């Protein structure tokens, strides 16, 4: 349920379908007409109006004051959360309550020469306009005295306000010269109501965004994520739309979600040196974004799931050779579960009827590595690291953990040794990918995704190991595999964008490093370095990886798990097929085990190739920096 529309849904509940349709049609038409008439009389877009909490409609502050937070959705709070009809709202009902305060004030100023000011009863703080940008909106009533002061306004002639401002500036100058410690209580304060404004040319600035909803960044980010989950059937299915409209609409909405994953963290880094409410707001929104991305990557496919080994662990029905209806009793419906791949029509010239979760995961995961910042009104080439910002700069362990989970969840079997010398990232920030023994003693990677609320966060206090049992108590664990090519693309992007010669951090590529002995990528290590090796039983090629200083090398763990699989399931199947070469069951079992082992080898070779790409790009950068290349 989308909290932004649930209030209207409840109000229209049980009405005839045609009446519902006509009611919504009328409200939406009026909102669009008012917006376009606004352009006709000279108003431009105001994309900051959704952030202008001081000038929200009166009902917004009344609902907040008189209702408990859990009642705000049913009281339709979000529908009063805008200051101008000239903004672009996030929902169909975002601006159906008529003109906003900004619209009235702008028209009064332009056509009548009147501006809005607080009455003399309101104690307006100095620099109110600046405070509104750095304080959380919940503090606005306190800044002015109470909720009643927010709407205690009157229209006054602009000429009168300008003369008052001129005299006030002169007064403040005189007082400042007389009282240099600024202890005087007689300084003049601006009483004109400040309105937030930004138009098309500034779209993308911190508070200037289209299709957003919320009075702070946490609310805006949460609204975008709610929209992603709640409107699945509208966004991912054709529903009669043309080919281009459907595809452009889908990818356009995905790109909007990506904005909310990227901008909070980049701006947080920018504001990190300042003790401002907006900094904490941006950090919370950033953590929310990482956890949301973790939920997207862990979304299962819909259908029936079967219980394994009397544990509260389920795998897709297709993973079980002889499914039993008594054990296959967990059904994940459409919406909570999402098909992985495209669905096509049956036409001769087929069309895409539905986009799968593959595209959600593939595109949204790119947010982890996006480092291109776009801070408006800032030009500074002195140190490019100041404007080269992605999550790896602040959430290194979490990103390593997530990449590790993607790697092992893309393999058909993952043997978890439990050896004491194997680093376990879940002891630092608990993983969402866990492992459960199958009937042959081979653990398979699984996700805790009974519902999105049951999923363990990637970041935050609930991600700590001691809270694991509390969060997951009673919740089924559901296997959600990751396609290998999706995992490979994430490795490539993470290796390129999280590896830099500009800092002293251990690069992502070093955590993924695997080399082959005797080849050009082989290295020499001192005797104190922990090095793991794996020998391909067919080619004789020896792969090795060195442990990183912090013990979190993914390459080392891959080789250890490959060795455990070769020495365990693969070796047993090999010995059986050697003893009974004509037994079809043993031949089939060995073929399956051989396929799994070769996937480990393929992964090792892929990591070697990725390392080559990264090293080659570094060499090109170094050559260019020395002036040897144009």
Interval 7-56: pLDDT, tens: 999 999 999 999 999 999 999 999 999 999 999 999 999 999 999 999 99
Q: Are residues 192 and 153 in the same domain?
A: yes
CA 221 to CA 288: how far, in whole Å?
A: 8
Average pLDDT over residues 458-474: 50
Q: Is residue 350 part of a domain?
A: yes
Range in 220-229, 283-292, 376-385, 533-542 with the lowest mean pLDDT: 376-385
Region of residue 14 (phi > 0: left; psi between -120 and 50: alpha; otherwise: beta):
left
Query: Per mean pLDDT, which of 152-166, 231-245, 583-597 is the most reliable?
Result: 152-166
Q: Is residue 501 part of a domain?
A: no
Among 482, 500, 530, which residue terminates a domain? 482
User: Which tens digit of pLDDT belongs to each residue from 330-347?
Assistant: 888 888 788 999 999 998
CA angle 202, 205, 209 (to 5 degrees): 85
User: Which tens digit of pLDDT belongs to each residue from 415-460?
Assistant: 333 222 222 222 222 233 333 434 444 434 333 333 333 455 667 6
* CA dist 509 → 270, 494, 495, 521 (Å): 26, 8, 5, 13
Q: Are residues 321 and 351 in the same domain?
A: no
Residue 542, SS3 per DSSP = strand
User: Is residue 358 within 8 Å of residue 483, measured between CB atoms?
Assistant: yes
Q: Are residues 172 and 284 in the same domain?
A: no
pLDDT at residue 343, rounded to an integer:
94
Q: Are residues 446 and 573 in the same domain?
A: no
* Residue, of 323 and 10, whose pLDDT is higher: 10
User: Which tens digit of pLDDT belongs to each residue from 352-391?
Assistant: 999 999 999 999 999 988 887 766 556 555 555 566 788 9
User: Which tens digit of pLDDT belongs to each residue from 244-283?
Assistant: 999 999 999 999 999 999 999 999 988 888 888 899 999 9
Bridge partners for 154 per DSSP: 117
Q: Is residue 273 part of a domain?
A: yes
Range in 118-122, 186-190, 436-440, 458-462 with the lowest mean pLDDT: 436-440
Q: Are residues 124 and 251 in the same domain?
A: no
Average pLDDT over residues 523-535: 92
Q: Are residues 115 and 43 in the same domain?
A: yes
User: Is residue 100 within 8 Å of residue 57, measured between CB atoms?
Assistant: yes
pLDDT at residue 626, rounded to an integer:
43
Q: How many domains does the chain have?
A: 4
CA 438 to chain centre: 33
* Residue, of 4 and 424, whose pLDDT is higher: 4
DSSP code per residue over 277-316: HHHHHHHHHHHHHHHHHHHHHTPPPSEEEEE-TTSSEEEE
Here the tokens at position 39 are 């352009």
Q: Is the pLDDT score of 502 beyond 90?
A: no
Q: Is the pLDDT score of 155 beyond 70?
A: yes
**CA-wise closest residue to 190 among 109, 251, 124:** 124
Q: Is residue 505 part of a domain?
A: no
CA 152 to CA 154: how far, in whole Å?
A: 7
Range in 166-170, 188-192, 476-480, 512-516 with the lowest mean pLDDT: 476-480
pLDDT at residue 25, rounded to an integer:
97
Task: For residue 121, name the pLDDT band (cuts at 50, 70, 90).
Answer: very high
Average pLDDT over residues 294-307: 84
User: Is residue 277 within 8 Å of residue 248, measured between CB atoms?
Assistant: no
Q: Is residue 492 part of a domain?
A: no
Bridge partners for 7 per DSSP: none
Q: Is the pLDDT score of 570 beyond 60?
A: yes
Q: Are residues 317 and 358 in the same domain?
A: no
Q: Are residues 375 and 452 in the same domain?
A: no
Average pLDDT over residues 145-164: 95
pLDDT at residue 376, rounded to an integer:
57
Q: Are residues 320 and 380 in the same domain?
A: no
Q: Is the pLDDT score of 329 beyond 50?
A: yes
Run of H or E residues at 447? strand 443-447
Q: Domain limits at 593?
A: 510-630
Residue 98, SS3 per DSSP = coil
Q: Is the pLDDT score of 199 beyond 60?
A: yes
Q: Is residue 11 part of a domain?
A: yes
CA dihedral 498, 483, 307, 593 (to 10 degrees): -100
CA 54 to CA 196: how far, in whole Å?
A: 9
Among 442, 462, 482, which residue terminates a domain? 482
pLDDT at residue 88, rounded to an integer:
96
Q: Is residue 327 part of a domain?
A: yes
pLDDT at residue 464, rounded to an integer:
44
Q: Are residues 154 and 22 in the same domain?
A: yes
End-to-end CA distance of the chain: 57
Q: Is residue 234 part of a domain?
A: yes
Range in 223-227, 307-311, 483-487 with the lowest mean pLDDT: 307-311
Q: Are residues 205 and 226 in the same domain?
A: no
Range in 73-82, 146-155, 177-186, 416-425 with the lowest mean pLDDT: 416-425
pLDDT at residue 371, rounded to an integer:
81
Give the Cβ contact number of residue 456 at 10 Å: 26
Among 186, 215, 244, which residue terminates a domain? 215
Q: Are residues 327 and 291 in the same domain?
A: no
């Amino acid at each position: 349920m989308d909290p932004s529309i649930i209030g209207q849904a409840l109000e229209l509940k049980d009405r005839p379908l045609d009446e519902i349709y006509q009611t919504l049609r009328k409200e939406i038409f009026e909102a669009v007409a008012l917006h376009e008439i606004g352009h006709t009389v000279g108003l431009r877009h105001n994309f900051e109006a959704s952030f202008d909490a001081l000038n929200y409609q009166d009902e917004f502050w009344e609902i907040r004051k008189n209702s408990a937070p859990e009642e705000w959705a049913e009281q339709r709070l979000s529908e009063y959360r805008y200051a101008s009809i000239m903004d672009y709202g996030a929902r169909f009902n975002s601006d159906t309550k008529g003109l906003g305060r900004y619209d009235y004030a702008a028209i009064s100023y332009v056509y009548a020469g009147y501006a809005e000011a607080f009455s003399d009863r309101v104690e307006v703080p100095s620099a109110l306009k600046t405070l509104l940008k750095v304080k959380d909106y919940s503090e606005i009533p306190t800044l002015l005295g109470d909720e009643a002061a927010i709407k205690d306004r009157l229209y006054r002639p602009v000429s009168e306000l300008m003369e008052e401002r001129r005299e006030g500036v002169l007064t403040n100058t005189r007082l400042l010269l007389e009282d240099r410690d600024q202890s005087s209580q007689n300084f003049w304060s601006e009483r004109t109501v400040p309105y937030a404004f930004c138009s098309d040319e500034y779209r993308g600035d911190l508070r200037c965004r289209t299709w957003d909803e919320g009075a702070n960044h946490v609310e805006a980010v949460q609204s975008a994520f709610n929209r992603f989950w709640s409107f699945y059937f509208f966004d991912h299915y054709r529903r009669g739309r043309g080919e281009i409209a459907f595809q452009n609409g889908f990818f356009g909405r995905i790109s909007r979600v990506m904005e909310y994953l990227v901008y909070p963290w980049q701006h947080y880094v920018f504001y990190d040196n300042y003790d401002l409410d907006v900094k904490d707001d941006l950090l919370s929104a950033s953590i929310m974004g990482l956890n949301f991305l973790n939920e997207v990557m862990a979304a299962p496919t819909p259908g029936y799931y079967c219980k394994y080994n009397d544990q509260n662990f389920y795998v897709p029905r297709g993973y079980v050779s002889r499914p039993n209806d008594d054990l296959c009793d967990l059904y994940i419906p459409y919406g909570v579960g999402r098909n992985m791949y495209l669905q096509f029509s049956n036409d001769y010239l087929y069309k895409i009827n539905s986009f799968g979760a593959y595209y959600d995961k593939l595109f949204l995961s790119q947010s982890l590595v996006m480092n291109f910042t776009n801070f408006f009104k800032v030009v500074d080439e002195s140190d490019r690291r100041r404007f080269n910002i992605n999550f790896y700069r602040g959430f290194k362990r979490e990103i390593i953990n997530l990449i590790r989970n993607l790697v092992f969840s893309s393999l058909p079997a993952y043997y978890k040794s439990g050896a004491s010398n194997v680093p376990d990232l879940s002891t630092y920030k608990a993983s969402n990918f866990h492992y459960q023994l199958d009937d042959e003693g081979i653990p398979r990677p699984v996700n805790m995704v009974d519902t999105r609320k049951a999923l363990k966060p990637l970041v935050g206090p609930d991600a700590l190991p001691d809270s694991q049992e509390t969060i997951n108590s009673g919740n089924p664990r559901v296997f959600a595999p990751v396609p290998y090519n999706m995992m490979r693309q994430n490795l490539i992007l993470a290796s390129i964008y999280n590896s830099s010669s500009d800092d002293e951090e251990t690069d992502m590529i070093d955590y993924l490093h695997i080399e082959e002995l005797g080849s050009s990528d082989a290295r020499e290590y001192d005797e104190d370095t922990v090095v793991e090796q794996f020998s391909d039983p067919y080619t004789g090629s020896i792969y090795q990886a060195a442990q990183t200083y912090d013990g979190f090398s993914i390459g080392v763990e891959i080789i250890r798990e490959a060795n455990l699989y070769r020495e365990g399931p693969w070796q047993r199947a090999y010995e059986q097929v050697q003893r009974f070469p004509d037994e079809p069951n043993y031949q089939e079992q060995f073929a399956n085990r051989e396929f799994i082992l070769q996937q480990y080898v393929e992964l090792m070779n892929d990591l070697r190739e990725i390392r080559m790409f990264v090293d080659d790009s570094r060499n090109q950068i170094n050559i260019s920096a020395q002036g040897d290349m144009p």
